[in-house]
Structure 1
């Protein structure tokens, strides 16, 4: 961004991004990097674009909702190969994640049609003098800081998941799905009560929703700005639902060979998951509590920001 790449994209790709997502062309960089690089790169780039005044407030809020996604390396390497020993599953899951993210982007564009119609489309490229060495050093410093934050959030929420596992009759895999995706995908894989197609659909739901751990990272990135987080939370909910739906439809139309999967998981059963009503109740309650907690965490940042104004 500091090298003027965002301005160049804004000028070149606005004719494509504006009709599809109602966002100027600079958002294409956040979209692509968010799809291929994992959390929380999409949120960080979106904030950089906003700080460079290449995105309006509402553009940034909408872009944030569908550019913060699980990396293909994690989905294919950890989930598909590490758990299921089936790389082809990973490519399908990645495709469903991309499709669901783009679906959310298209829906948000339809909801903001009047706003999009009033947006300017001219973005003059302004030449800037930059110090490449200084920028490189800042990138390294920021990368180390981000990695520390990610590891801290993962450890924190993994401990919470472990504590939840000590509660009798608590659906640990379901609770983990709202907290941290790495632990959740592993628990879903080891759940013998779910048939394969529901395991994969539940995994897509978790990947699309991303978990409270990722949302806390986003709050830490966005918290000192005036960008609304409501579109982000709504977008992640919708993305999880769409991803699960796309995965279920795909594997219904193109089922996997059960014998191949059984070689990796010999004890897999096809039982119906128990207590569906209780699981739904747990899911809705925990989902709402998760969002309420994140909104409360973001309020102090908003208050500090308004005092400075």
Structure 2
């Protein structure tokens, strides 16, 4: 046994024992934190992600991903150095939110659609906050300002695009070079590929549906466990004053950037869990809206250790490494913060000024687009728990009958 492995075992054991002791010493605080994490997962995360997870399984099994991959190959390969099927992962990841990008990347790796290096590139820029969370929870729920949603979304998704362009250089030294396809898009070839992949699926439709639901709910249960654990962990670290030490370091950095040190508790919370961090940042009265937007963009892009742990767990079923994903999150956090600062005037200040004009059809369309996401988020708050309950009951009955 090597000395390093022995030290790691000792540190793991000490950390787990210490946390278990803290949970027993502060049971009330741990319970309240777990309820907060459970509520977000139960009402919003589960019902919003389940349809996307199930749909993505069907699209992969029916060959639709291969169809899209053939069509998008001339676009995705030269831009991001990933197969065309990465376009499907990117679109689904942006629409449904994290950790969908990691789950779909792992599935493509298991199906042989991507190599290890391509999977690491793909996972790095296909995990993002979904529009429901940005426009509904953060813009309206926390900031009470629907107009800030467009700025946060532009900085977040624009940062993802830049990360994808940067990560195209990852692994070039150890990857065999592939010629970029210069031929035009062929629908015939795409249909032929889709038909071939569908014929390779020998399972009946009913079993495919059951397996898709089963796999999706298993993943969502894992996500819920991580959300609850990191919610409790963040609360415990605050109680034992560990956060104060980190807060001192962050405060020094904030002063150097001419920002109030009152933002540091929200940043620490955001490093662990996005929702709590964004909520705290929105309530800092000492900071300007520009400063709040910049820090919130940073938190959204970093994803928080909770989401990163979910991604690490999902990727562990493949040979895709976690470290490139973590490096990409650091790059994304820095780029999104800069974009929020640069775009604040054209996408928020000027936009609010234009909103006072008598007629502006573009603004009306823009606000209608945001309104749709806000309404969907409100619907999830009202009925999301019912969807989660019914889905879990169906899953339980399915597995009970199968056994």
Fold conserved (TM > 0.5)?
yes
For residues 128 and 117 of structure 1, the distance between their equivalents in structure 2, rounded to whole angstroms, comes to: 29
Match of 1:218 in 2: 311
Once the 2 structures are TM-superposed, how far is the Cα of residue 117 of structure 1 from its aligned partner? Answer: 3.6
Match of 1:144 in 2: 217
* 1:174 and 2:267 are equivalent in the alignment: yes
Once the 2 structures are TM-superposed, how far is the Cα of residue 143 of structure 1 from its aligned partner? Answer: 2.4
Kept after mapping to 2: 8 A contact 1:161/1:172:
no
Equivalent position to 2:136, from 71, 77, 91: 77
* 1:30 and 2:89 are equivalent in the alignment: yes
Q: CA distance change for structure 1 residues 120 and 197 in 2, over 3 Å: closer, same or farther?
A: closer
For residues 227 and 119 of structure 1, the distance between their equivalents in structure 2, rounded to whole angstroms, comes to: 23
* 1:54 and 2:54 are equivalent in the alignment: no
Match of 1:279 in 2: none
| 1:50-100 Cα shifts (integer Å, max 9, x gaps) | 111110110001100011111110111100010112222112211211111
Match of 1:185 in 2: 278
* Greater share of helix: 2
Match of 1:118 in 2: 178
Kept after mapping to 2: 8 A contact 1:6/1:49:
no
Kept after mapping to 1: 8 A contact 2:299/2:333:
yes
| 1:230-255 Cα shifts (integer Å, max 9, x gaps) | 21111111111111111111114455
How many residues align? The count is 259
Once the 2 structures are TM-superposed, how far is the Cα of residue 192 of structure 1 from its aligned partner? Answer: 2.4
Match of 1:273 in 2: none
List aligned pairs for 1:115-264, cutoff 5 A: 115=175, 117-118=177-178, 125=193, 126=196, 127-129=199-201, 130-166=203-239, 167=241, 169=244, 170=247, 171-256=264-349
List aligned pairs for 1:8-27, cutoff 5 A: 8-27=67-86
Q: Which moved further from structure 2: 247-256 or 16-25?
A: 247-256
Once the 2 structures are TM-superposed, how far is the Cα of residue 120 of structure 1 from its aligned partner? Answer: 7.9
Q: Which has the higher contact order (CA 8 A, sep 6+)?
A: 2
Q: CA distance change for structure 1 residues 91 and 133 in 2, over 3 Å: closer, same or farther?
A: farther
Q: Which runs of 5+ in 2 are unaligned?
A: 1-59, 182-188, 248-263, 354-403
Q: CA distance change for structure 1 residues 5 and 65 in 2, over 3 Å: closer, same or farther?
A: same
TM-score of the superposed pair, with normalisation by structure 2: 0.60
**Bigger radius of gyration among the two:** 2
* 1:91 and 2:150 are equivalent in the alignment: yes
Kept after mapping to 1: 8 A contact 2:302/2:330:
yes
For residues 154 and 112 of structure 1, the distance between their equivalents in structure 2, rounded to whole angstroms, comes to: 32
For residues 180 and 348 of structure 2, the distance between their equivalents in structure 1, rounded to whole angstroms, comes to: 47
TM-score of the superposed pair, with normalisation by structure 1: 0.77
Alignment RMSD: 2.4
For residues 150 and 105 of structure 1, the distance between their equivalents in structure 2, rounded to whole angstroms, comes to: 25
